[in-house]
């Protein structure tokens, strides 16, 4: 549904986007992760045919951004991170206005607007003025607007930006619902952990370069590497660390925040001998758990050192 080949955007000597190769299939819910200025918005604007790349190619629903921009615009729903609304319109009027812009006429226009309101759970606000809506409701209204023409692909730029926790949860649930409808969704965010629960694939971008891309679990496994066991004891953590640092099962031992972190040696899956060793050394073990690796940890690990390399070495 979406494919980019060596997609690049330069401003003078500055690369806003550099050699992006990306492929999304139908039904993918793809999380585009990176800090502000990483190149997420540039990519989305190119895919939506609002910005021309310096070089490279991109296809959306099989159409080239160069030769078939109108076909692409008919096939996508683009929601920018900041968009204006007509405050003096009622919610239903706002949607009908844009339905008319999509050339949806007659009785079908009202039906389509009502359907979009129902999908984003704003039916109760249909006759309210747009200016009366909260930030979260305004975001949902913006999503309802881009769903009016039933697009195959959704390009959502920071849809959860500025939302309170409840509104972010509602937005995530809505994105999962859209994926279940078979739509291909590219959603950008700099709020890393939020995408781990809902996206089947993620891409990590920094300074215009795609540093990693794949299934969420594959990226976590890539970062996880050696299993690390976190142990909390009743006494001094430093003394406990010394008790296990020579154990055959331990590849490395450190102390952090009052806990003993033990990296298991290659092939070791059973950490009980390490616990036995601590107990025999006179330490009272309070907690033993495997160190978690989440999407935020993955981002920090995968980008560590990548930005320090000169671009010609990248």
Q: Are residues 239 and 262 in the same domain?
A: yes
Measure the CA dihedral 31/35/37/41, to 10°.
Answer: 20
The CATH number of the domain where 233 resides is what?
3.30.70.100
Q: Are residues 247 and 178 in the same domain?
A: no
Facing residues of 1 across strands?
A: none
Q: Are residues 268 and 252 in the same domain?
A: yes
Q: Tokens at residue 193, please?
A: 């952990």
pLDDT tier for residue 311 given thresholds of 50, 70 and 90: very low
Q: Are residues 62 and 166 in the same domain?
A: yes
pLDDT tier for residue 97 given thresholds of 50, 70 and 90: very high
Torsional sign, CA 83, 1, 198, 172: positive
Of residues 72 and 136, which shows the higher confidence score?
A: 72
Q: Give the per-residue pLDDT at 254.
A: 87
Phi-psi region of 101 (alpha: psi -120 to 50; beta: other; left: phi over 0): alpha
Q: Tokens at residue 275, please?
A: 């616990």
Contact 290, 230 (CB under 8 A): yes
CA distances to 40, 153, 171, 178 from 27, rounded to whole Å, are 20, 9, 18, 9
Could you tell me what percent of the chain has a pLDDT over 70?
90
Euclidean distance between CA atoms 115 and 109, whole angstroms:
10
pLDDT tens digit sequence for 193-217: 667 778 989 998 989 999 888 887 7
Choose one of 188, 222, 256: the last residue of a domain: 222
Euclidean distance between CA atoms 33 and 190, whole angstroms:
6
Choose one of 175, 192, 222: the last residue of a domain: 222
Q: Mean pLDDT in the chain?
A: 88
pLDDT tens digit sequence for 65-94: 999 999 999 999 999 988 777 888 999 999
pLDDT at 310 over 90: no
The full length of the chain comes to 314
Q: Tokens at residue 248, please?
A: 């055959």
pLDDT tens digit sequence for 276-300: 999 999 999 999 998 776 666 666 6
Domain enclosing residue 42, as ranges:
2-222
Q: What is the pTM of this model?
A: 0.77
Q: Are residues 278 and 217 in the same domain?
A: no
Q: Are residues 237 and 211 in the same domain?
A: no
Number of C-beta neighbours around residue 128 at 10 A: 14
């Amino acid at each position: 549904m979406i494919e980019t080949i060596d997609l690049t955007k330069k401003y003078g000597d500055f690369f806003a986007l550099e050699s992006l190769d990306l492929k999304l299939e139908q039904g993918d819910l793809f999380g585009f992760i990176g800090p502000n200025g990483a190149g997420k918005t540039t990519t989305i604007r190119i895919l939506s045919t609002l910005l021309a790349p310096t070089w490279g190619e991109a296809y959306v629903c099989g159409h080239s951004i160069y030769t078939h921009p109108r076909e692409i615009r008919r096939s996508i729903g683009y929601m920018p991170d900041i968009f204006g609304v007509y405050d003096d319109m009622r919610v239903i009027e706002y949607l009908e206005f844009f339905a008319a812009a999509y050339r949806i006429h007659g009785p079908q226009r009202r039906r389509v607007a009502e359907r979009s309101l129902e999908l984003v759970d704003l039916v109760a606000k249909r006759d309210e003025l747009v200016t009366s809506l909260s930030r979260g409701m305004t975001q949902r209204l913006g999503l309802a607007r881009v769903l009016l023409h039933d697009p195959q692909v959704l390009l959502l730029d920071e849809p959860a930006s500025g939302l309170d926790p409840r509104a972010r949860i509602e937005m995530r649930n809505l994105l999962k619902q859209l994926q279940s409808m078979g739509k291909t969704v590219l959603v950008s965010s700099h709020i890393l952990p939020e995408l781990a629960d809902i996206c089947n694939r993620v891409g990590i971008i920094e300074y215009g370069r795609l540093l990693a891309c794949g299934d969420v679990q594959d990226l976590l496994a890539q970062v996880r590497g050696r299993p690390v066991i976190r142990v909390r004891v009743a006494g001094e953590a430093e003394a406990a660390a010394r008790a296990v640092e020579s154990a055959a099962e331990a590849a490395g031992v450190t102390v952090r925040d009052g806990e003993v972190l033990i990296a298991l040696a290659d092939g070791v899956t059973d950490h009980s001998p390490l616990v036995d060793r601590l107990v025999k050394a006179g330490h009272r073990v309070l907690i033993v758990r495997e160190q978690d690796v989440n999407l935020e940890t993955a981002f920090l690990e995968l980008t560590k050192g990548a930005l320090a390399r000169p671009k010609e070495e990248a």
